Amino acid sequence: MEIINKIREHQEKEKQLEWRGTFKEYLELVKKHPHIAQHSHSRVYNMIKDAGVLEKDNQKMYRFFGEDIYGLEEPLEKLVEEYFHSAARRLDVKKRILMLMGPVSGGKSTIVTMLKRGLEEYSRTDAGAVYAIEGCPMQEDPLHLIPPHLRDEFYDEYGIHIEGRLSPLNMMRLEKEYGGNIEDVMVERIFFSEDKRVGIGTFSPSDPKSQDIADLTGSIDFSTIAEYGSESDPRAYRFDGELNKANRGIMEFQEMLKCDEKFLWHLLSLSEEGNFKAGRFALISADELIVAHTNEAEYQAFINNKKNEALHSRIIVMNIPYNLKVSEEERIYEKMIAGSDMADVHIAPHALRTAAIFSILTRLKVPKNQTVDLVKKMKLYDGEELEGFKDQDVEELKKEYQDEGMDGIDPRYVINRISSAIIRKDVESINALDVLRSLKEGLDQHASISDEDKERYLDFIAAARKEYDEAAKKEVQKAFVYSYEESAKTLMDNYLDNVEAYCNKNKLKDPLTGEEMSPDEKLMRSIEEQIGISENAKRAFREEILIRISAYARKGKKFDYNSHEHLREAIQQKLFADLKDVVKITTSTKTPDESQLKKINEVTARLIDEHGYNSVSANELLRYVGSLLNR
């Protein structure tokens, strides 16, 4: 079986990565490849950086997060540069607990999961290789074997800082198993694995009465006390707590602020000094990235409690807000649907985008600039170009509120309502109206939505529907115009002839009489006004078209209907306006004649073939647009 062969291939590759040797041989490796001795924060930063960094519009975009996190480029850049990069450079940030704070379903857990899964893969690469003292339950750094008084000399020779002291267990093993000969201590390559509890730990709060601190720091193995004679013998201790097992990697505290206080005390010395107390031993060194996540309400309650001041000063909070871009929100829904049992359901074009418009509107704060409404702000955030606005205006809008995106409708709610729409409709096709109807009905069932918020959200559903109405009309417009493609090309040629005469201050010849006549200003303006070209801007627009035609001619290319996007859109809208009565009659008549039926079939076929509809959703769209045009 092919799957068996692939499993064997994978196992062979894993074996090839294995390495075992003495500490002396390990030092030779370190001299050749100093990066294998990097600390946990540096390893995480390099893992993210090595995956690739793109820069677009002065914004860094990390490929590491690219396939799973959408629309959070700015928070992620802040997280990587202000925390991981600084910590990798051994700045004081390294001594702080990373706290991701944000609303539910905002991506906090996804980010942590990606870091954990990423480390598992990265430890299997040359750049992310990790080595440990063989047989150590805490996969301890072999460099801890270097005595403290020789570490300055080691740095001078190797350029590597050594932090932490040898653990009580390995100190005893060094004496009893190796007779104090450090160079003979065996070292092995390890591979991070959350399942095998190597380098990745996860701690979840539960009932404080039943949860034991041993879950974090390990516990005494009473069955061995008779053998070793003392509870303080490190061989009689199980170093199997989450802090032990997360050494050299990452430690996740799920809902950290829900933990009982006794579980948080250990984090004080671990974050600041890089060690913690376990059993009847000296402090145990640990090198691990501690990352926690919480919501804003719990965090505010935490910092308002004076008893938490010491821990609060050791936390760096990074806001992880909701995505605020409609196009990225749509991608989130597509991803969630693709991973569900709804993947085979036909979702008509614009359905997810309409839901995304509603979601984003609930997350935005009203601009202080009264000339900008929420819908305009939403479009600007999504990268749309609006007349009268520049990139600088968008940046000013983003600076108005530091906590924008920290509340509103979460993606899971939307997906739940889409699921409800599919079940209720009982067909394998839903459209934007089905989704909006389901979102509206769901507001009454959402316990955490106040009456005040509900009123606002109903307004946002109305705004989302208005945007959909325009999109639906445009969709049908395009399908009809394509059916009149020759008319569109003729109209464009006519416009271009007039533009050329206007710009060159020439006259046109009447094709029938041969008389000279001035450029048809009424025709040109009727087309230009379709895309908002003002009277003052008409000359610049026409000259820009003429320059484009000349550029095409120089390259030996023909300027045609698809050569200028804005002009094509204007021609389509003009033609659609002229055909509006035809469209209205064709889409709304209950008993179409033969020519109307032919036109409907042509338009339906184009909607299916080129716009992503199926027969059900295409006919629903035509009926709906017909009703809109008849209002």
Q: What residue has token string 């991608």?
A: 331
Reduced to 3 states (helix: H, G, I; strand: E, B; else coil), residue 294 is: strand
Predicted confidence (pLDDT) per residue in 600-621, tens digit = 888 888 899 988 999 989 988 9
With cut-offs at 50, 70 and 90, classify the pLDDT of residue 511. Answer: confident
Residue ranges, CATH 3.40.50.300, the chain: 1-319
**Listed ranges 276-285, 325-334, 423-432, 437-446; the one with the highest mean pLDDT:** 325-334
Task: Give Rg (Cα) of the chain.
Answer: 33
With cut-offs at 50, 70 and 90, classify the pLDDT of residue 1. Answer: low
Cβ neighbours of residue 581 under 8 Å, at least 6 residues apart? none
Count of other CB atoms within 10 angstroms of residue 28: 11
Cα–Cα distance for residue pair 528/532, rounded to 1 Å: 7
The answer to whether residue 386 scores a pLDDT higher than 90 is no
Cα–Cα distance for residue pair 484/489, rounded to 1 Å: 9
Which of 263, 187, 207, 222 has the alpha carbon at shortest distance from 27? 187
Average pLDDT, the chain: 88
Cα–Cα distance for residue pair 583/596, rounded to 1 Å: 10
Report residue 424 as tokens: 């209720």
The four Cα atoms 80, 84, 86, 87 give a dihedral, to 10 degrees, of: 170
Cβ neighbours of residue 96 under 8 Å, at least 6 residues apart? 83, 87, 271, 314, 315, 316
Total count of residues recorded for the chain = 631
Q: What residue has token string 């004076």?
A: 306
CATH entry 3.40.50.300 includes domain 1-319 = yes
Range 237-253 average pLDDT: 92
The DSSP code for 528 is H
The answer to whether residue 482 scores a pLDDT higher than 70 is no
**Cα separation of the two ends of the chain:** 64
**Alpha-carbon distance values, 167 to 162, 199, 282, 450 (Å):** 14, 16, 8, 54
The DSSP code for 52 is -
Report residue 521 as tokens: 């200003």
**Alpha-carbon distance values, 217 to 19, 21, 244, 314, 558 (Å):** 29, 29, 6, 20, 74
> Is 17:189 a contact under the CB 8 Å cutoff?
yes
Predicted confidence (pLDDT) per residue in 119-174, tens digit = 999 999 999 999 999 999 999 999 999 999 999 999 999 999 999 999 999 999 99
Burial class (CB in 10 A: 0-12, 13-18, 19+), 585: middle
The angle subtended at Cα 331 by Cα 330 and Cα 334, nearest 5°, is 90
Pairing of strands 284-285, 346-347: unpaired
Which amino acid makes up residue 366? V
Which of 194, 203, 216 has the alpha carbon at shortest distance from 254? 203
Predicted confidence (pLDDT) per residue in 37-81, tens digit = 999 999 999 999 999 999 887 788 999 998 788 989 999 999 999
Looking at per-residue pLDDT, the higher value among 203 and 388 belongs to 203
Characterize 448-467 residue by residue with b for buried, 16 or more Cβ atoms within 10 angstroms of its Cβ, and e for exposed: ebeeebeeebeebbebbbeb
Long-range CB pairs of 173-181 (<8 Å, 24+ gap) are 173/135, 174/145
